[in-house]
Chains A and B, each alone.
Chain A
Amino acid sequence: EIVLTQSPGTLSLSPGERATLSCRASQSVTNTYLAWYQQKPGQAPRLLIYGASNRAPGIPDRFSGSGSGTDFTLTISRLEPADFAVYYCHQYRRSPGTFGHGTKVEIK
């Protein structure tokens, strides 16, 4: 099973700041099968990024994904109030699919 480790656990930032979230895999993940989701309290996760760097339909361009192999990054260029949430990375190349434990982006 591929273990995904996200860091930091919590990121305290102000609106307008840049957020950089990390996801490290215990073994190489094919880029095609790495995704990022946003989850707000009481809601289901929402797909942001698939294939490591492709924005899902309707996702603003302030969200971007990068990385390869075992190291992946989600960047939010300028935080807006709606962006304060928990973010999860997800690999779905090898069964079982696994998720990271999440990074909470909170208002500083």
Chain B
Amino acid sequence: QVQLQESGPGLVKPSGTLSLTCAVSGGSISSSDWWSWVRQSPGKGLEWIGEIYHSGSTNYSPSLKSRVTMSVDKSKNQFSLELRSLTAADTAVYYCARPGVTVGNAFDLWGQGTMVTVSS
């Protein structure tokens, strides 16, 4: 059974860079075409950050595009998110998720989420 697990620092300074990794276990990262990142600010709704194809192609949210880079490491069976020039508005729970081909590419698999606080 495929599982996702996010990892990264819980606290990052303003103007700094956030780096998160999503480890895929129980299956190959190549078993799905796309992998996504979604975030949720405290008490707020869900925001799609972007997606990466297992070969490395990407799509990013226009509102974050200038600050986001996603990458995939097949050898480690994981994919990553980098978000630059952080402000307090980037404080959120960050989730990695999988669009499932058996459910029409809705997000059928989610990591548990990792809380990231941007503060000095």
Contacts and interface: CB of A to CB of B under 8 A. Distances in A.
Interface in A88-108: 88, 90, 92, 95-102
Interface stretch (A11-19, A21-29, A45-53, A69-77): A45-53
A54 B104 contact: yes
Interface residues of A, number: 26
Given A44-B113, A96-B62, A88 B45 contact: yes
Interface size class of B (residues with CB under 8 A): 20 to 34
B66 interface: no
Contacts of A85: none
Interface string A37-68: 10000011111001100101100000000000
Given A37-B46, A47-B103, A96-B60, 18 more contacts: A33-B105, A35-B107, A37-B107, A43-B112, A44-B95, A45-B107, A47-B106, A47-B108, A51-B103, A54-B103, A90-B107, A92-B105, A92-B107, A96-B59, A96-B61, A99-B45, A99-B48, A102-B45
